[in-house]
Structure 1
């Protein structure tokens, strides 16, 4: 692995960093204070992101995206991750790469408009009784025949669905049968949000990521045609697995960005704040905290970049990605907590972004696979070669 950045990578980092500081940072206070992202503000930033070439940067060039390799995507996500999640997630959109599995007709209807900023997607997997255990999913799609109609009839409920209230369509994972081992077999569907029988309800109030919205989706006898099936019937679990790999690296990368911002603020505080006649950074209790924060951040960054590099080589395992996600999310929890300790009482005041970074860090160890799930993946990979 070459640890040096190419000229192109350095340019992408610089352009993204400048965009974040110029277009996202100034609106963080408003989003935190109101708990919402104004639609007109989101539309304005999206346009600027498109003009800057940052929109849909995760997509290949052949579909209109930037065609970034995975390492460069991690560097890109790290810079975006320094800003409020609602701002960068909603305004500098990275459409779900599951859409790449679609037919050309599906790409014309869903993928290309998402890349151009004309449509937005949302992904619906999680259910009230099925979070980490996707096999416990109850939402079911049943084949319809007769009466001159063909297609699928969908019944069930999804929750924790990010930005469904702003999306144009949902990428739905539902049970469609059983596999050869008698386990639920899942398939993926593209369902327009205005389809009769599909209702979007406001979701739950969240301590993390103010301005980010989650919704509850009810599918009450929703009919979709045969061409709504994305990928192969019964292969939805595998398709979701392909998506989860890249999004877990995305989570890890955004955690790196927030941790770096927290560490930078802490270094400034330690170098300028005086107590007992000297800068607080000269006290061993503060210096050691800074050292530990820097070590943990560097370790998480190297682990994430290594997993991304292996992803580009086609050699990344589920354990590689799980290690990166686990380390980066738990590192952010530690760094944000220590950053507040270094700042004292001011660290918990909303004049600084630290209390937001600290609150937001909590969700990262839960979504896109809990820390326990990541440890399960890693442990299983270690024992499997030994027959365990």
Structure 2
């Protein structure tokens, strides 16, 4: 196997890292202090990201994006992950790939404005009573003549406060299966100004300050059939086809944050003197560094291998679950140990460590909890035996 980067990949990594350090890092303190990402900052940084060719890098070239392959996209995501999440996700936006599944008319109406930086999309799946169990969702979509009528509530919907439209997944009926009845799901485009749609402020979050979540309510929202994304009752199929690599994106950003925390920890261990020598010479610290480096290497190899296999069409659900599980749990360990090496100073706002430590907590929950990832992995192991 060849583990080296191509010249193009190295250029993308170097360009993205420089952009993060020069354009995103300077705004971190304000966002962390206020919990708000000002619109002026968004527009300023977004314009620079577009000019640098870093905007919408995940979208295929045929639809106006940069068209990075999955492996290169993950290297790019890793570099962006070094910065405050709200800054890189909002200002260097990556529109949802599921927008590519729309009809030509839908792509022109919804995808292209996102690629041009004119608006943002948001995905509405999670409900107060249905998190990981998406089949348990209560929000419904029923057909009424040529139209669909939507009712129900979604929550934890990321950046819905600035999105121009919602990609909503709702229960649209039931079907019989060998294991009993199962809900059918349909995906819809819902414009922000659609009558009956309400977007409310969500919850204050300990992780990712400035990156907002919202509650979305559908109250007899009426849509024409042209607003269906994909086929009716096939919402899960279109999501599985187009959203499969999002778990790897989460893992890749975790790699970037872990590297940043680790860099601080190594420098501190080499320069902080106690009892007449650098603290890194003490096994209590040096062994921590060794364990951190080993876990980071293992997580990175798993993420990049899964990305490479995704491009080859050979990645399994278990491959992506293992990679996401390893990377997110690795970040929690590295962030915690970095603070332990620093001692009390590691918890002060003068360093990014306390932010990375806080931000790490949500990664083991969203895009499928660690428990869900373990379920996917164990199911793949047992399935050949009929268990």
Q: TM-score, normalised by structure 1?
A: 0.98
- Which residue of 1 is the match for residue 359 of structure 2? 360
The Cα shift of 1:243 comes to 4.0
CA offsets per residue over residues 323-375 of structure 1, 9 Å max, x none? 00000000000000000000000000000000000000000000000000000
Distance (whole Å) between structure 2 residues aligned to residue 54 and residue 144 of structure 1: 43
- Which residue of 1 is the match for residue 171 of structure 2? 175
Aligned counterparts, 1:1-388, within 5 A: 1-145=1-145, 150-181=146-177, 182-388=181-387
Distance (whole Å) between structure 2 residues aligned to residue 245 and residue 5 of structure 1: 24
Q: TM-score, normalised by structure 2?
A: 0.98
**SS of residue paired to 2:163:** coil
Q: RMSD of the TM alignment (CA)?
A: 0.7
The Cα shift of 1:246 comes to 1.2
For structure 2, list consecutive stretches of 5 or more residues without a partner in the other structure.
none
8 Å CA contact 2:101, 2:242 repeated in 1? no
The Cα shift of 1:178 comes to 1.5
The Cα shift of 1:239 comes to 1.8
**SS of residue paired to 1:208:** coil
Aligned length: 384
8 Å CA contact 1:179, 1:234 repeated in 2? no
The Cα shift of 1:82 comes to 0.3
Distance (whole Å) between structure 1 residues aligned to residue 217 and residue 317 of structure 2: 32
8 Å CA contact 2:98, 2:243 repeated in 1? no
For structure 1, list consecutive stretches of 5 or more residues without a partner in the other structure.
none
8 Å CA contact 1:159, 1:217 repeated in 2? yes
The Cα shift of 1:2 comes to 2.1
Would the alpha carbon gap of residues 361 and 243 (structure 1) be closer, same or farther in structure 2, given more than 3 Å must change? farther
- Which consecutive aligned stretches of 4+ in structure 1 deviate over 4 angstroms post-superposition? none
The Cα shift of 1:242 comes to 2.9
Distance (whole Å) between structure 1 residues aligned to residue 238 and residue 207 of structure 2: 28
**SS of residue paired to 1:242:** helix
8 Å CA contact 1:244, 1:368 repeated in 2? no
CA offsets per residue over residues 132-182 of structure 1, 9 Å max, x none? 00000111111112xxxx211000000000010000000000111112422
CA offsets per residue over residues 77-134 of structure 1, 9 Å max, x none? 0000000001001110000011111000000100111111112100000000010000
Distance (whole Å) between structure 1 residues aligned to residue 258 and residue 51 of structure 2: 28
**SS of residue paired to 2:143:** strand
**SS of residue paired to 2:154:** strand
The Cα shift of 1:43 comes to 1.1
**SS of residue paired to 1:67:** coil
**SS of residue paired to 1:209:** coil
**SS of residue paired to 1:218:** strand
